[in-house]
Amino acid sequence: MDSGVAPRHPAVAHAATGCRDSRRRVAIRAFRGTRRTSVYREHVLGEEAFRRIVDAGARSSLAAVASLAAGRRELRKEAAHRLADELNRLRAGAGLLDVDDDLVAAAEIASWCARSREDAWLRIVPL
């Protein structure tokens, strides 16, 4: 008999019970403003997709993308500009079609950071 209640998504069930979910996430956050008062945009993607992007960047000799392998990372807007450029080059290579949405979103976040007229920085944050 159907109870009419939708089953919980596994990630929600793990979060509710305090268990660690095997589908970890990484946030790409771009900030504009000052350290005290800033606005930000973010894109959250799966850790596996993030690793695949970083590995593809390393294989393609894309230094800014490959440098993200270090985990939590902060980039100034000049480095964010290089990152956006390299993410777009990875996308143009069409080798990661299944994570294309993540590549587009990450490149847009990095580009938004790079175009700022004020202070800006980008953070890669494991969640």
pLDDT band at 6 (very low <50, low <70, confident <90, very high): very low
pLDDT of residue 4: 45
Instruction: Look up residue 27 and give its two tokens.
Output: 């946030």
Tens digits of residue pLDDT in 79-121: 999 999 999 999 998 889 999 999 999 999 999 999 999 999 9
| pLDDT tens, position by position, 18-74 | 334 458 999 999 999 998 999 999 999 999 999 999 999 999 999 999 999 876 589
Q: What is the pLDDT of residue 73?
A: 87
pLDDT at 11: 39
